[in-house]
Amino acid sequence: MPTIDADRLLKDLYAVREIGKYKTGVHRPTYSADDVKARHWLAERFADAGLEASIDGIGNVYGRDPRPGRKLLTGSHIETQNHAGWLDGILGLIYGLETARTLKTGIDVAAFADEEGHFASFVGSRSFCGLLTEQEMDVCANRETGQPLRDALRQAGFSGRPRQQVDVARYRGYMEAHIEQGADLEDHHLRIGVVTGIVGSKRYRIAFQGQQNHAGTTRMAVRKDAGMALVKFLAAVYETFPKIANPRTVWTAGDIKLDPGAPSIVPGKAELIFQWRDTDQATLDRMDEAFHGLLAEANKGPCTATIAYSGLTVPAIMDPTLQAAIAESARKHAPGLAQAMPSGAGHDAQILSQVLPSSMLFVPSIGGISHHWTENTRDEDIVLGCQVFADAAESVLATV
């Protein structure tokens, strides 16, 4: 049975936390100076561990075991949301690295660029799986700054390099560890989550068009208040969705913008970003139907509501054999303290699962907090998670 080096594991996590440190968290948006620094730091750690290290044309950091034989691919992402947590992404990478160091052979590690979607969804893992075209790269831009992806890659020093693609025959499968980013493990006093599937999602940006006017002189009867139309529509969604959702379905209006957004001006335009997630495709579809019905209702009012953007990801099922290996390892190291559970968040594993048997292991998030600099996990949970991960990885490689 492999035994990981807990001090070495934590020391690496503490070290990378210093790159882009923000309060007790980190700020490393994709291709920012600190993100690039972290990628080079990680490549050096891969090389130290005896892996062939490279950074490719999309910024993926790849560490390949040069020895012969089939391998297990491990990975996650290294960039963060803005001013976010210190473990989101990097935990899975350092687990992979520590597992490679512990098992000595059979483990590759990949840091997939921009899982956090500063430019687009899963750019790095899609590139690795052959699901990202050059044409899409031409039009991708930073969602906040508008900087084109190509520009950002040039600035980062990665443009012109080839993009690594997965050699499916090389791998037994893909295993990714991650913080839970929810409070389910903590609430049930558990320490390991064995992920059964990753939720799919529907995402919409809805634009409401009304008539900008003076907030004192325009009578209510003749107004076309785009903000009011948005609020009434969203309140109707909030009224309807609980009636047709599953217990674990989630829905979120992450942003609302009124234009021009002045106290004494009736908003002439308004924009809503809305999404929902579930592991069950039929549930996703049922809610989509209701959403469109409410949108049609909204369009009977004085304003028009149109879909400015829509996107979706389909639910991803995790591989049963890999799940069983993680569950078995958890039984050894934390008997009675693991559970099977879905992932409410999206992860690179949902992309990898399209080309490789894939699986995920969760460790608890304190208070369920995530995407915020106060995100944290107890050191003993970090260490236990890695031990379970390494042991599961060894057993997966043993069955080849």
Element (H, E) at 270: strand 269-278
- How many Cα atoms within 13 Å fall on the side-chain side of residue 28? 27
* Min separation Cβ 73 and a second copy, Å: 23
Closest CA to 199 of 64, 51, 21, 345: 345
Please tell me the distance from the alpha carbon of residue 376 to that of residue 370, in angstroms, as a whole number. Answer: 8
* Min separation Cβ 236 and a second copy, Å: 8
Amino acid at 240: T
Element (H, E) at 291: helix 281-298
* Min separation Cβ 365 and a second copy, Å: 8
What is the residue whose two structure tokens read 């080096």? 5
* Sole binder of a second copy in the list 74, 102, 350, 370 (CB under 8 A): 370
Stretch that binds a second copy, among 20-28, 70-78, 319-327, 338-346 (CB under 8 A): 338-346
- Residues 81, 20 contacting (CB under 8 angstroms): no
DSSP 364: -
* Sole binder of a second copy in the list 3, 263, 335, 399 (CB under 8 A): 263
DSSP 368: G
Element (H, E) at 323: helix 320-333
DSSP 303: S
* Sole binder of a second copy in the list 109, 345, 356, 388 (CB under 8 A): 345
Stretch that binds a second copy, among 62-70, 160-168, 254-262, 384-392 (CB under 8 A): 254-262
- Grouping H, G, I as helix, E, B as strand and the rest as coil, residue 278 is strand
Chain-centre distance for alpha carbon 359: 15
Residues 84-123 that bind a second copy (CB under 8 A): 117
269-278 and 316-317 as β-strands: parallel, antiparallel, unpaired? Answer: unpaired
Stretch that binds a second copy, among 5-13, 166-174, 251-259, 288-296 (CB under 8 A): 251-259
What is the residue whose two structure tokens read 């490393």? 28
Count of residues in contact with a second copy, rule CB under 8 A:
66
- Residues 74, 178 contacting (CB under 8 angstroms): no
* Sole binder of a second copy in the list 199, 284, 322, 390 (CB under 8 A): 199
* Min separation Cβ 284 and a second copy, Å: 13
Interface map 136-175 toward a second copy (x if CB under 8 A): ----------------------------------------
- Residues 282, 202 contacting (CB under 8 angstroms): no
* Sole binder of a second copy in the list 10, 273, 312, 355 (CB under 8 A): 273
Interface map 170-189 toward a second copy (x if CB under 8 A): ----------xxxxx-----
- Residues 283, 249 contacting (CB under 8 angstroms): yes
* Sole binder of a second copy in the list 212, 240, 299, 339 (CB under 8 A): 212
* Min separation Cβ 165 and a second copy, Å: 27
* Sole binder of a second copy in the list 295, 324, 366, 369 (CB under 8 A): 369
* Min separation Cβ 181 and a second copy, Å: 4
Cis peptide, bond prior to residue 68, ω within 30 of zero: no
Closest CA to 124 of 52, 185, 76: 76
Written as six digits, the tokens of 38 are 């972290």
Interface map 217-246 toward a second copy (x if CB under 8 A): xxxx-x--x-xx--xx-xx--x---x--x-
Which CB sits closer to a second copy, 212 or 299? 212
- Does 81 bind a second copy (CB under 8 A)? Our answer is yes
Binding residues for a second copy, rule: CB under 8 A, are: 81-82, 117, 180-184, 199, 201, 203, 211-220, 222, 225, 227-228, 231-232, 234-235, 238, 242, 245, 247-258, 260-268, 273, 275, 277, 343-346, 365, 368-372
